[in-house]
Structure 1
Amino acid sequence: MNDLAGTRQVNPRWRTLAVALAVLSAVFLVVGGLAWQRVYGRASTQERVALAHGLALHAAELRDTDSGTARKLGTAAVGIHDDEQTRAGLIDTMVDMYGRALSPLTQETSREVTVSGDGRVALSKEGGEANVWDLKSWIDPEVIEKPDRIPTLKRHGRASVNTTALSFDGRTALTGDGDNTATVWDLTDLAKPVRLATMAAGRTTKYTNGVKKAALSRDGGTAVIVDQDGVMTVWDLADRSHPKRLSRTSSKTVPIRDFALSADGRTAVTVDDHNKVTVWDLTTADHPVKGVDLDLSMEYSRSATRTAMSANGHVVLVGRVGQIEIWNLDDRSHPVRYTTLDVSFDNLYGTYDMSLAPDGKRLLLAGPGGSGALWDLSTPSRPTRLAALNGHMREVESVALRADGDLALMAGSSGVYFWNLTGLDEIVADPKRESCHRYDAKISEAEWARYAGGADWSEYKSEDMDSVSVCLIDWWS
């Protein structure tokens, strides 16, 4: 009886212990299960990222040869894993589909391209002459037969054309020639350009290197010519047939590399071979005032090569090897550097050319490798890369933007290429939505096996389909 009573007294304790052990076991199982789920989930996420980046890489490789496949692989990549890399790849693919050659690409090199502010006219410099292009029909999608270049602006005498400039409305053009003169052209009738006048630049000797840069104010009423010896001349074109020279300023024979003029013709910037970037006040055009030099590093490998200016003259860009410096000229006597933009990762190891939209919000850069890069400078202190422009060239010599930034041109080996960038903001904001709005594409099982690196495609398609819909891929995965 005593033993039985003792057993009855112990059993409740064993039961409590057993319950506690069972609870602990359940806790361990739950914790272990959650840990396994975390590891599995992490591996699954890593696999999705790897798959998305792999598809984006294949899309980039196919961009030149098979744009349709490139687009649907890029769209699938964003649907599987939406990050900066996949989005940038799809944006570049979408933008590339809106580029085309102004004429069949040849081996002819275009050294310079210029476009009027309204986008109606473009000039391209080839073989010592300037070709005139009427861009209206190129922009209009309803015009099937695109015209070739119209006439050429012939060189002055035996000299070759070194550089060109256009007024905003495209009705006045300048050609700067190798004999150190500039010619004024009337392009009112694009098919029949009229030579109106010839203006002398700086020195005219047998040793002169000719005109380096020419620029026109927005209204075409003021012309500025800079020769390669560093002489800047300002002209009044109120009467285009009888230009009046207002001033001639020498920079003490220092060769000029580049030049920019504000739309009102009152502010200019020169870049010389001594790595000096100088701001000029042309408010009194008959007496230009040399202002401050921008405070650049004198490091030889980072010497200044190019410059660009917004229409109001308040934003100035200075191109250097692998870098673009962005300056604020609200106070011309005290320039302030906004930021330095590193462009080395865009393969722009030596900035060949750059074009800034008049409002200063969109920048086009070009360099070695046959491509360009489009940047958003709406907030100058925080530039944002928008897209790459592939010109299908070996190298790009020159770039140009229409005033609104929605038309871009690049010139280089093989000719001139242009992009109609209307709708770029929508593409950048949501490239997958814009891709699916324009196209409905599917990836076949054979294509998936070829490009997806062995990933199980059943996770990315609906059960009743024999293909992957790139626009619905995030619904089923």
Structure 2
Amino acid sequence: MNDLAGTRQVNPRWRTLAVALAVLSAVFLVVGGLAWQRVYGRASTQERVALAHGLALHAAELRDTDFVTARKLGMAAVGIHDDEQTRAGLVDTMVEMYGRALSPLTQEASREVTVSGDGRVALSKDDGEANVWDLKPWADPKVIEKPDRIPTLKGHGRSFVNTTALSFDGRTALTGDDDNTATVWDLTDLAEPVRLATMAAGRTTKYTNGVKKVALSRDGGTAVIVNHDGVMTVWDLADRSRPKRLSKTRSNTVPIRDFALSADGRTAVTVDDHNEAAVWDLTTTERPVKGASLDLSQSATRMAMSANGHVVLIGRAGRIEVWNLDDRSHPVRYTTLDVSFDKLYGTYDMSLTPDEKRLLLAGPGGSGALWDLSTPSRPARLATLNGHMREVESVALRADGCLALMAGSSGVSFWDLADLDEIVADPKLVSCGRHDERISEAEWARYAGGVDWSEYRSEDSDSVSVCLIDWWS
């Protein structure tokens, strides 16, 4: 009886210990399971990221040769892992697709392209003359037979055209020639351009390369000519057939690299070979006043100015400086864009929309880089426009930013950017709304790097639906 009683007294303690051990074991199992799950989860996430980036890379490689597959792989990459890299890749593929839907204006090498603000007229310059284009039939996909090139604007006498400019409405054109003259053209009838007048650019004897840049105010009433010597002449074009020279100013003592004029013709900026960027007040056109200089740390290549003259962009090696000219006597550097990853180690040209929100850059990489400057302190890269040429020498944007032109070694091409904002906001949603794409087992085996596809498709399907890939994975 005593032994039985003793046993009964000990058992509760053993039970308590056993329960405690069981609880501890359970805790260890749970903790261990959670730790394993976290490790497994990390591995799974890493696998998805690697797969998505691999598909995005294959998509980029296929853009020039197989758009459909490039689009499918890009959509799948975003569905598997939506990050900046996969999203940017799909945006570039879609933008390029819609750009290529428009035929090139010409496949002859072009060194400069200009477009009117309304997008009705474009000028492309080759070695010696400027070609006039009516863009309406080219931008209309319903027009199957695109027109041949229409008349050219030739230099004065035996001279060659160096540079061009267009008024906002496309009815007035300027050509700057290598004999140091500029010609005013009436483009009211695009089929028959009319030479109205010739203006002297104030030639000196130091350099003999003629006119470097010409510019027109938005209304076409003011013209500015800058020659390689640094002589700037301002002209009144109220009567286009009888231009009146308002002033002649020695803007620089060394050759000019670039020149920009505000839409109202009251603010200008010059950049010379000594890396000086000078701001000019042309409010009194008879007496231009040289104001402050921008403090450039490196050699400047090209620049662009906003329509109101309050923002100017200076391009140099791999960087774009954004300057605020609200106070022309005290320019302030807003920010700097690093464009080196766009292969723009030297910026050949740039175009800025009048509202300062969209910027197109061109450089030696054979493509253009499109940027969003809506918030100047936080510029954002939007897309790459592949020019399919060795070098893009000149770019132009329509005033609303919905049409882009690029000129270079392979001619002039243009891009429909009307849906760009929608595409950038959600490229997969836009693409799925237009295309129902599927990746076959053979394609998955070829591009997915050996990853099991069962996680990314429905069990009863023999292919992967790229628009539903995030549902099944």
Report the Cα offset of residue 34 of structure 1.
Answer: 1.1
Equivalent of 1:382, from 358, 369, 378?
378
3-state secondary structure, aligned to 2:260: strand
Aligned to 1:285: 285
3-state secondary structure, aligned to 1:97: helix
Aligned to 2:99: 99
Pick which of 203-212 and 334-343 moved more: 203-212
Contact residue 180 and residue 204 of structure 1 kept, 8 A: no
Aligned amino acid, residue 180 of structure 1: N
Contact residue 409 and residue 417 of structure 1 kept, 8 A: yes
1:15-164 correspondence runs (5 A): 15-100=15-100, 102-103=103-104, 106=107, 108-164=108-164
- Distance across 1 between alignment mates of 2:289 and 2:430: 50
Structure 1 segments unaligned to the other structure (5+ residues): none
Matched, 1:329 2:355: no
1:234-245 correspondence runs (5 A): 234-245=234-245
Pick which of 204-213 and 271-280 moved more: 204-213
Pick which of 57-66 and 142-151 moved more: 142-151
Aligned amino acid, residue 76 of structure 1: A
- Distance across 1 between alignment mates of 2:82 and 2:405: 30
Report the Cα offset of residue 253 of structure 1.
Answer: 2.9
Aligned to 2:215: 215
Report the Cα offset of residue 136 of structure 1.
Answer: 0.9
- Distance across 1 between alignment mates of 2:292 and 2:87: 42
What are the superposed Cα offsets for residues 296-352 of structure 1, whole Å, 9 maximum, x if unpaired?
22xxxx211211100000111111111110011111111111001111111000111
Report the Cα offset of residue 202 of structure 1.
Answer: 1.6
Aligned to 1:426: 422
Q: TM-score scaled to structure 2, two decimals?
A: 0.98
Q: Indicate how the Cα distance of structure 1 residues 45 and 206 shifts in structure 2: closer, same or farther if over 3 A, else same.
A: closer
Aligned to 1:347: 343
Report the Cα offset of residue 142 of structure 1.
Answer: 1.7
3-state secondary structure, aligned to 1:380: coil
- Distance across 1 between alignment mates of 2:354 and 2:286: 25
3-state secondary structure, aligned to 2:287: coil
- Distance across 2 between alignment mates of 1:252 and 1:375: 31
Instruction: Give the % identical residues.
Output: 87
Contact residue 366 and residue 391 of structure 2 kept, 8 A: yes
Matched, 1:457 2:453: yes
Report the Cα offset of residue 251 of structure 1.
Answer: 2.7
Report the Cα offset of residue 82 of structure 1.
Answer: 0.3
Aligned to 1:188: 188
Aligned to 2:250: 250
What are the superposed Cα offsets for residues 173-222 of structure 1, whole Å, 9 maximum, x if unpaired?
00000000000000011111100000000215595210000000000000
Aligned to 1:448: 444
- Aligned residue-pair number: 472
3-state secondary structure, aligned to 1:422: coil
- Distance across 1 between alignment mates of 2:408 and 2:119: 20
Q: TM-score scaled to structure 1, two decimals?
A: 0.97
Aligned amino acid, residue 241 of structure 2: S
Contact residue 102 and residue 416 of structure 1 kept, 8 A: no
3-state secondary structure, aligned to 1:117: coil
- Distance across 1 between alignment mates of 2:452 and 2:275: 58
Report the Cα offset of residue 128 of structure 1.
Answer: 0.8
Aligned amino acid, residue 307 of structure 1: M
Contact residue 102 and residue 148 of structure 1 kept, 8 A: no
3-state secondary structure, aligned to 2:354: coil
- Distance across 1 between alignment mates of 2:65 and 2:472: 30
Pick which of 135-144 and 335-344 moved more: 135-144
Structure 1 runs, 4 residues or longer, greater than 2 Å off: 1-5, 100-106, 204-207
- Distance across 2 between alignment mates of 1:391 and 1:357: 20
Matched, 1:466 2:441: no
- Distance across 2 between alignment mates of 1:212 and 1:12: 101
Contact residue 103 and residue 148 of structure 1 kept, 8 A: no
Aligned amino acid, residue 462 of structure 1: S
Aligned to 2:12: 12
Contact residue 206 and residue 229 of structure 2 kept, 8 A: no
Aligned amino acid, residue 337 of structure 2: L
Report the Cα offset of residue 104 of structure 1.
Answer: 7.2
Contact residue 123 and residue 164 of structure 1 kept, 8 A: yes
3-state secondary structure, aligned to 1:99: helix
Aligned to 1:361: 357
- Distance across 2 between alignment mates of 1:330 and 1:442: 53
Matched, 1:416 2:405: no
Report the Cα offset of residue 102 of structure 1.
Answer: 4.9
Aligned to 2:225: 225
Pick which of 151-160 and 73-82 moved more: 151-160
3-state secondary structure, aligned to 2:445: helix
Q: Indicate how the Cα distance of structure 1 residues 220 and 102 shifts in structure 2: closer, same or farther if over 3 A, else same.
A: farther
- Distance across 2 between alignment mates of 1:81 and 1:290: 54
Contact residue 52 and residue 76 of structure 2 kept, 8 A: yes
Aligned to 2:311: 315
